[in-house]
Structure 1
Amino acid sequence: MAPRGSLHFKRISTTLTVFLVLLNILNTGRCEEQVPLILWTSEGMALPSQSPPTVGHIIGQQQLASYLEKALNMGPRNVVLFLQDKMSIEDFTLYGGAFGNKQDSVFPNLEGALMSSSSALMLPAVSWPASNAVIGQLQDQLVTSPLYMDPETLSQLRLNSSSPALLVFRLPYSTGADLISAKEILSNNDEVIAQVLNIMKTQSVPYTAIYTALWPSREAASLLIEAGLGGRRVLLQARGGNKERDRERQHRIKEKARIYSPVVFKEGENTCIVLWSKSLSVSILRSGRWEDHDLTPATFGEGVSPKLHGSSCDKTKAKLALNYENVLGHRNFKLIFTMSQRHYKVSSRRWFTLNTVELEYDGTKATFNGSQTIYAPVEYSYRCESVTSFRWPLLVPRSSKDPANQWRVSFENFQIQGFNVTGSEFSYASDCAGFFSPGIWMGLMTSLLMVLVLTYGLHMIMQLHTMDRFDDPKGPAISVPQTE
C-alpha cells in the first residue's frame, strides 16, 4: 500500500527514520533534481496546519515561499538555517539507521530535536532552484540580512525574541566516493546542529530551525538507477501512466535546465546594458573572518525585478547600478558596473572595457579595477566562467588604501554587454579563456615530443646498411681479410 502523503504537519510520534524511508520510496529514481527540507520549532511553539499536496509533487520556489510565510507568520521569527552543501533523501536512508541499526545512525541529535518539537514541516522533494533561493526568501519575509555564523560566535550573540534574526550555519558535505568520509562529515554536522540548538535553548529564545541543502548529493547514482530501471518501471505502470510520467519528467527537466532572464537596462525604448550571472556574491572581512552574502536571489529569478536607478548609458559610456537593501549590515548597498568604449589604432577596431566594479554602501565606495583584464570587441559581449577579486583575480582594488581591500566579489558564469545590444539578448560572446589553454599547450608539446622521437627513430633506421657479402652453408666459409 502506498503512503498517503509526502508532506504533513503533525506531532512526531514515530522515529525520523521511518518517515524518511517512506519519503525514499516516494522519490525513488527522482532525487537528482530535489533536496529535502526539514523545518521545526523550539519546544512549546506550534506551526499552523496546511493541506498536503499530491503524492510525488515537487515543491517550487513560489510554493516554498508560501509554506515559509505561513510558518513564520505564526511561529518564531528567529530563524536558524542549517544550509548543507549537498543532501538527498538517500543520505538519511544510508546513514540514518533506516534498516534497524539505530546505533549506526549519524542523525541522533536531529531526530531528538524533531521528537521534542511540537510540530514540524517536512518537504522531501524541493527543487534545487527553490532551495538555492531559500536565504533570499527568508530575508524578504523577515526583513533582515542573514548572519553567517558558527557555534562559537553564536554563544557570544544575544538574541531578542521581539526582533527577527536570520542565522545561517553552512555545513559541508563529502563530494567524493568515500562513504566513510561522507558518514563522518554528516555525523559532525549533526553535532554542530546539537551545539547550536543547545546554545539557543540556554538563551531561552524561541526559534524556527530549517535544515536543507543547496544541491542534491546523489545526482550521478540516481541517474544510473533511473537509466537502468526505467524500462522495468514502464512495464509495471498502468495504461495511460506513461503519458503522465513523461509529462512529469519533461517538467522536471525543464525546471532543472531553466535559466533565469538577464538583467536588462533600457534608455527609453532601446536596450543599453544586459547582465547575467549564475551567481553574484560579496564578502566583507570582519574580526578576521569573511562574512558572505549572496546577491543572486535579489537580482535574478522569476518575479525578481532589481532596482536599477542610477544606471545610465550613451555611445561611449555605460553604467549599470544594482540597488539592494540590508546587505551585510548595510542598509543601502549598490553594485555598480562602469564600462567604456574607444577605438584602438593597433587593431583598427573599437573595444569596450569593464573599467570598474564598485561597491557603494552607507556613503563609502570600494572600487575594483578590471580594465586591464576584462575587455571585448564592442560588437561582442564579454563572458567568463569566473570573475573574482581573490582567486585568479580579474578584479583588483584600485589602490592599497581603497576600502576594496576589505571586500571580496565573486561572479560565476558572468556575461555582460554595454554597447550595441540588439533586443534583450547578448551578442556573440568573447570568452576570457584563450584558444590555447594550458591543456591544449600540454597536448601540443606532448605531440611534438612524440613526433621528434619518431623522426629520430626513422632517421636511425634509414642509416642501417645491408651486408654486401653472405655466407653459403654449402660452400667454403667467407674469409674476410683484416685489411678490409
Structure 2
Amino acid sequence: MAESKMADSKVARVRYTVYSCVLLYYLFLTGCHSDQVPLIMWSSGGVPMKPLEPPAVGHIVSSAQLVSYLNDALSTAPQNVLLFLQDKLSLDDFTVYGGVFGNKQDSSYPNLEAALQSSPSSLVLPTVSWPGISAVPALLQEQLGTSPLYLEPGTLAQLRLNASVPALLVIRLPYSSGVDLMSPKEVLSGNDEVIGQVLALVKEQAVPYSAIYTALRPSRIVGEASTPELQSVGRSLLQASADSVYPPVEFKSEGTSCILLWAENLTISYYKGKWERHDLTSQTFGESVTISLTGSSCNRTHSRLVLNYENVLGFRSFRLVFAMNRRFYKVSAREWFTLDQVELEYDGQKATFNGSRNIYAPAEYSYRCESVTSFRYPLLTPRASNDNASQWRLSFDNFQIQGFGVTGRDFSYASDCAGFFTPGIWMGLLTSLLMLLILTYGLHMITQLRTMDRFDDPKGPAISVPQNE
C-alpha cells in the first residue's frame, strides 16, 4: 500500500514537472502578448477531464478554437464549474510576479499551484485571443444549460452544491495596475488567497468540480518599473498609441529618423466664392502610401518637414510645410521646440500661418493636440502681412508632431494642448462657489436675528405700548 502511494506521488511530481516545463516553454517563445489572455482549467480529484492536445507553441487560440476546447473539456469534466474571472491578466503576471508553476516556496501563487498539482488533469492555454476570452461566461452558460451565479467568497459557504445538477459559479477577482495603495503583486497574491478559500469551501462539500482561471482583458502594464526620468518634468503627459491605424510620416536624415508626423484627419479648405474642402489624409498616411518629402531637412536646432502633393484643389503643385525650431529659454532653464510656421505653397504662391504662440513642447517631447485649426478657436493664426492666408483654412484632428529627439518610429512622451481647467472642473468650482455663497448668506441672516427686550408676564400688569395719535 505504501509503495502504491509512493508511485502515485512520483507520477504526480512527474506530471507537475512536465506542466512546468510546458508553460515555461510557452512563456519563452510567445513573449509578451498585450492582446492575449491566458486561460487555465483543471478538475478536482477523482474526475479527470478528457485528454486534450495543447496548441502548438506560439499559436494564439482563436474564439472558435476556444469553443472547441471548452466543449471537449466539459464533456467529461464535472458540471459544477468555478469561474475565477479576473479583471485583467497576462502572461507577464506569471513571470514578473512569481511563476504559478515554480517551486512552491518561491511561488507567489501557492493555492493555484497546489490545485494544479493535485488535479488529475488540466488545460493550459497561454495565449487566447482577447475577443474570444471575453465570451467565456456565455460559452459556459450555453454548454452547461444554466445561468451564471455571481458570488462573493463569503456567501459560498451558504450554498449547497449538487453533483447531479450543473452549476456555474462566477467569482470576480480584482486587479491593480499599481496606481492605488496596493501593488499588482499584492493584489494578485490576495486573489490567490481567494481562490484557496473558495476551493477549500467546495472541498468541504465533497462535490467534484471544474475550475477555470482567466480574465476579461489583458493587463497591458504590469511591470513595477521606475517612472522614466522625462515623465517627472512638465505638465500632464500623454503618449501616442503604438497601435495607430497607420504609421506616422517619418523623415530620415543620413539613415536616422529626425521628424515624425501623425494625424487622424489632415484637411485643408480654399475659398473660391465658396469653401472647397480637400482631405489629404489618404494621400499622406498609410502602409502603401509613399509621399514625397523632398525639401525636408533637420539638424539640432531647425527641422523642416515638407509634404509634396499633386493636383490638390486644382493646383498642379502643392506643398504643406511644417517649420520647427529648438531654443533655450532662460526662464525655464531648458530647451523647448515650437512649430513656428505652417506654410502652403501652391503654383508659386504662399500662405503662411504662425503657430509659435500656441504649439510648443519641451525639446525632448512630442506635441499632441486633439484639434489644431486656423479658424474657430485657432491655434494657427495667419500672418498679417500675408493676404493669401485668409483664403485658406487648416484643420488637423488628433495631431501629433515631433521634430527633435526622435528615436525610431515611436513618438516620445507627448505634451498635450489640453488645458488644466476642463469643463468638469469649472462646473465643480462654480457649483462649490454657489453653495458657499448660499451658506454665507444663511449665516448672515442668522446673525441678524433679534429677540424682544421684554416679554408679557400673565401674572403681572400687561405691557402697554403707547401710541401717538
TM-score of the aligned structures, taking structure 2 as reference length: 0.44
TM-score of the aligned structures, taking structure 1 as reference length: 0.43
Task: Please tell me whether Structure 1 or Structure 2 has the larger radius of gyration of its CA atoms.
Answer: 2
